Amino acid sequence: MTPSPAFRPASGKDTPGFTDDSHRQRSAWAFRTGAETYDDVRPGYPPEVVDLLAGHRVVADLGAGTGKLTAALVGAGHEVLAGDPSPDMVRVLHERLPGVPVWRATAEATSLADAAVDAVTCAQTWHWVDAAAACTELDRVVRPGGRVVLVWNNLDVSHPWVLRLTRIMHSGDVQRPGFVPEVHAPWSVTGELRTGWVQHLRTGQVHDLMASRSYWLRSDGKVRARMTRNLNWYLHERLGFQEGELLAIPYRTDAFILER
């Protein structure tokens, strides 16, 4: 029987929907494993994102994952501290960037001293946190005149084939173009960056991209097998890509400057 993955219109929401805090925390905790796959196939960030930190020397990258943004900040000359709640992510980040102080932390509980940093970055992170608690904590650790930069890479579902791809991968098409994140006093959004670009992956790497998602990581073998069949059908039968063929996958990046 030919698989028939569900297809729905693009999301009109500003943020993922969780039934409660426990659901949000369980979804985020799925990233306790799979760090190598994440590091192999998740994209980095456009250089314009790093430019948003110009003039802010000491930066805490929270929810740093395997260090995709951390590495770019270090390369731009920032002094970077990196925290993530996942032991697997922290392990890979430390191996990748051995000179960067790395520890297990969340945006709600950073373990940093008062006024410890000039800026904080949260990339692919803010939708996993309690925004009110995080805003209070970041007010404590960011020095006067500092800023917070929130960043998301989103698959660009304005392309119909990418929208269907996100549905098959359960990749979280949950933030509409033009969305604004939830923030709380004393912070407010004072600037935005919205840009588009392309990641090139081979067909097998698209499977790895699916395996880097929270939904995959918290699913059992039966669900994963169905997702794999559906993705194979879509890439090879529906779209006609050959095994190992290179795909140009469009993304958009949405970044927000928060200041007090």
Residue 118 within any structural domain of the chain: yes
Check residue 32 and give its pLDDT.
75
Residue 27 within any structural domain of the chain: yes
Residue 16 within any structural domain of the chain: no
Residue 2 within any structural domain of the chain: no
Residues 247-257 have pLDDT tens digits of 999 999 999 99
CATH of the domain at 202: 3.40.50.150
Residue 4 within any structural domain of the chain: no
Q: Which residue range(s) make up the domain with 156? A: 21-259
Check residue 19 and give its pLDDT.
63
Letter for the amino acid at 6? Answer: A
Residue 148 within any structural domain of the chain: yes
Check residue 1 and give its pLDDT.
40
Residue 143 within any structural domain of the chain: yes
How is 112-152 classified by DSSP, letter by letter? PPTT-EEEEEEES-GGGS-HHHHHHHHHHHEEEEEEEEEEE
Distance, in Å, from the CA atom of 21 to the CA atom of 10, rounded to the nearest integer, reads: 25
Check residue 33 and give its pLDDT.
81
Residue 232 within any structural domain of the chain: yes
Check residue 211 and give its pLDDT.
96
Give me the residues of the chain with pLDDT under 70, please.
Answer: 1-8, 11-14, 16-19, 24, 26-30, 172-174
CA 9 to chain centre: 22
Check residue 17 and give its pLDDT.
64
Instruction: Please tell me the total count of domains within the chain.
Output: 1
